[in-house]
Chain A
Amino acid sequence: MADLTTGTLGDTLRRNGVSRRGFLKFCTATASMMALPPSMVPVLAAALDNAQRPSVIWLSFQECTGCTESLTRSHTPTLESLIFDHISLDYHHTLQVASGHAAEAAREAAMQASAGKYLLVVDGSIPLGNPGFSTIAGVSNLQILEETAAGAAAVIAMGSCAAFGGLPKADPNPTGAVAVRDIVTDKPVINVSGCPPIPVVITGVLAHYLTFGTLPELDQYSRPKAFYGTSIHDRCYRRPFYDKGLFANTFDDEGAKKGWCLYKLGCKGPMTYNACATVKWNEGTSWPVESGHGCLGCSQPDFWDAGGFYNALSIPVGDISRTASYAVAAGVALGAAAAGINRKTKTEANRQHSTVTVDDLEKTS
């Protein structure tokens, strides 16, 4: 179980051999990434240096553990991972040593010890269709979330499933999955969307929370603006090719080899807000578009239902060719019927030697 008195974040970092210079560099980078003014760097440094270990309870519902993989798999220890190590992660299915009753006891103990102060991290969506669809120690996801959220200072919905429902909520949503924000309405909920989300976003949010005791500025999807403020498209290094009209038409044509825009291959960059294009993945190695694949739009709500991953963004969700064919068939049939009626009217008019009147000519349409 967590020991809340193991010192400050500064102590942890120094114990792990992080120099003062390295620490300040991290603070400067974090401040600039979170769009804080340079004058905030010393404040950030002082606050982080003295930050106590916050208690964190991590609940996993209908998820794939990809979010945890993303956040914990750094091959060399970075300051980000050290900050992550510093938090007192009192309950996490995948990472905790305890199991069974001991695990649930750890959660309850943390909830009591830091009532009103602990951070609750949730990954995965919550099934409302039937409580039995997903349970932990025999308790439904809904109940465990409501219980644990009650005493939390804030809730971080980690990944697109927790933030927006994600894959479980994809049409036809068999489990009746909903997002954390649909359940927790009386606490600050911060959405860190992505499938999975970028690790540095969570440490950025933690750093902000440790420094100011508040959550960073959020966008209309409750995501930190500093990371989700601009679209992939606007920060994409392939953007000049889009503007010039130079596109890859297949994944191995000349355009693809020259690194041209992937719009035609289904890139959802224009509608997707995330920091991939600037922060990148695997410690700044690369990101999907750089490795030659269009953006899937994984940090946007309902991205699974937004049409084929390999269809250009301008292509409708449904089968437009089929709709158009049916409509043509219906139109031809109805048109032929209309023509038949007209023909009959005309024959009748001819037979009765009807004349065209002024009223007929006045008809519009």
Chain B
Amino acid sequence: MNESMDFLLWTRGTAFDVAVAIFVVGILIRLFEIISLGRAANLAAPKGSEFLPGMKTILTRTLPEGGTFKRQPLTILAGYLFHIGLLVSLLLFIPHIELFRETFGFGWPGLPNPIVDAAAVLGIVGLLAALWNRLTNPVMKLLSDKEDYLVWVLTFLPLLTGYLAYHRMINPYPLAMGLHILSIELLLVLFPFTKLMHTFTLFLARWYNGAMSGRRGVES
């Protein structure tokens, strides 16, 4: 009879523990696997250093590239919009910071709610634009497979349910809150086994690209 409350307690209890455990174990296995694989020894004499070109590429690949922007402005715009919106909502919303504080033992200052609210809207708009781009741009459509759409849904649901819960657009509130937490648990569980891993591997990959070019003495 207390379904919504039981549901909320389950998402905040057992389900959260399970999801976090799968997430952490999965991420660590993946990272260990990737890093421990290493590369075959390069026997050629290096023509340049690896470290600095690697660091430089981390920066340059993080900034939008002019040519891509001209050809595919929506990819760049939607990408930035969504990532900034998501990161602000995730990392600077006070209730989220309280969760991080409880988990890691430290927190950081947050932003007032209306600003986070606006960021969440930007994130949602950005994701919708990215989906529209993926569906209408012939190249993007050809490149996309099932996993891309799955990952889109996994990312979209927490933003959407969070927005609905914050604005109390689903009743009762324990149900709204439970759905929000459940959507994050779904994201956490599938995170290590999908493209979402880029969150942890992107800087590694960018550094590696730059380092390889640096070693060969070419610009990346």
Q: Which residues of chain A are near B193, meaning CB under 8 Å?
A: 365
A45 vs B36: C-alpha distance when bound (angstroms): 81
Task: Point out the residue from A179, A312, A346 that lies within 8 Å of B1, measured CB to CB.
Answer: A179
Question: Most B CB atoms within 10 A — which of A231, A244, A327?
Answer: A327
B48 proximal to A (CB < 8 A): no
Q: Once the chains bind, are B12 and A317 in contact (CB under 8 Å)? A: yes
A-B contact count (CB 8 A): 143
Q: Which residues of chain B are near A328, meaning CB under 8 Å?
A: 24, 28
Q: Once the chains bind, are A342 and B37 in contact (CB under 8 Å)? A: yes
Q: Which residues of chain A are near B110, meaning CB under 8 Å?
A: 245
B174 proximal to A (CB < 8 A): yes
Q: Once the chains bind, are B9 and A302 in contact (CB under 8 Å)? A: yes
Task: Point out the residue from A244, A271, A331 that lies within 8 Å of B112, measured CB to CB.
Answer: A244
Q: Which residues of chain B are near A285, meaning CB under 8 Å?
A: none
B32 proximal to A (CB < 8 A): yes
Q: Which residues of chain A are near B37, meaning CB under 8 Å?
A: 342, 346
Q: How far is the CB of B154 from chain A (nearest CB, A)?
A: 16
Task: Point out the residue from B2, B13, B20, B168 that lies within 8 Å of A327, measured CB to CB.
Answer: B20
Interface string of B1-34 (1 = CB under 8 A from A): 1101110110011101100110111111101110
Q: Once the chains bind, are B25 and A327 in contact (CB under 8 Å)? A: yes
B residues 73-121 touching A (CB-CB < 8 Å):
94-96, 98-99, 102-105, 110-114
Size of interface on A: residues with Cβ below 8 Å to B: 53
The secondary-structure label for the interface of chain B is helix
Interface string of A305-329 (1 = CB under 8 A from B): 1110001111111101101101110
Task: Point out the residue from A242, A324, A339, A342 that lies within 8 Å of B103, measured CB to CB.
Answer: A324
Q: Once the chains bind, are B32 and A335 in contact (CB under 8 Å)? A: yes
A273 proximal to B (CB < 8 A): yes
A64 proximal to B (CB < 8 A): no
Q: Which residues of chain A are near B208, meaning CB under 8 Å?
A: none
Interface string of A250-288 (1 = CB under 8 A from B): 000000000000011000001101000000000000000
Q: Which residues of chain B are near A317, meaning CB under 8 Å?
A: 9, 12-13, 16
A334 proximal to B (CB < 8 A): yes
A221 proximal to B (CB < 8 A): yes
B172 proximal to A (CB < 8 A): yes
Q: Which residues of chain A are near B203, meaning CB under 8 Å?
A: none
Closest to B103 in A: A320
Q: Which bracket fits the contact residues of B? A: 35 or more
B152 proximal to A (CB < 8 A): no
B212 proximal to A (CB < 8 A): no
A164 proximal to B (CB < 8 A): yes
Q: Once the chains bind, are A221 and B27 in contact (CB under 8 Å)? A: no
Q: Once the chains bind, are A315 and B28 in contact (CB under 8 Å)? A: no
A300 vs B99: C-alpha distance when bound (angstroms): 22
Q: How far is the CB of B100 from chain A (nearest CB, A)?
A: 10
Q: Once the chains bind, are A307 and B12 in contact (CB under 8 Å)? A: yes
Q: Which residues of chain A are near B8, meaning CB under 8 Å?
A: 271, 306
A78 vs B176: C-alpha distance when bound (angstroms): 39
Q: Once the chains bind, are A273 and B172 in contact (CB under 8 Å)? A: yes
B residues 153-178 touching A (CB-CB < 8 Å):
168, 172-174, 177
Q: Once the chains bind, are B2 and A302 in contact (CB under 8 Å)? A: yes
A323 vs B110: C-alpha distance when bound (angstroms): 25
Q: Which residues of chain B are near A247, meaning CB under 8 Å?
A: 94
Taking A242-B113, A335-B33, A343-B36 as contacts, is the C-beta distance between A318 and B16 under 8 angstroms? yes
Closest to A300 in B: B5
Q: Once the chains bind, are B102 and A315 in contact (CB under 8 Å)? A: yes
Q: Which residues of chain B are near A39, meaning CB under 8 Å?
A: none
Q: How far is the CB of A168 from chain B (nearest CB, A)?
A: 15
Binding site for A on B (CB under 8 A): 1-2, 4-6, 8-9, 12-14, 16-17, 20-21, 23-29, 31-33, 35-38, 94-96, 98-99, 102-105, 110-114, 147, 168, 172-174, 177, 193
Q: List 6 A-B contacts (CB under 8 A).
A: A220-B4, A221-B2, A302-B6, A306-B9, A317-B12, A323-B17
Q: Which 5 A-B pairs give the minimum distances between C-beta atoms?
A: A335-B32, A331-B28, A339-B36, A327-B24, A301-B2
Known: A234-B168, A323-B21, A342-B37. 14 other contacts (CB 8 A): A245-B110, A245-B113, A271-B173, A301-B5, A302-B2, A316-B16, A318-B17, A324-B20, A327-B23, A328-B28, A335-B33, A336-B32, A339-B35, A346-B37
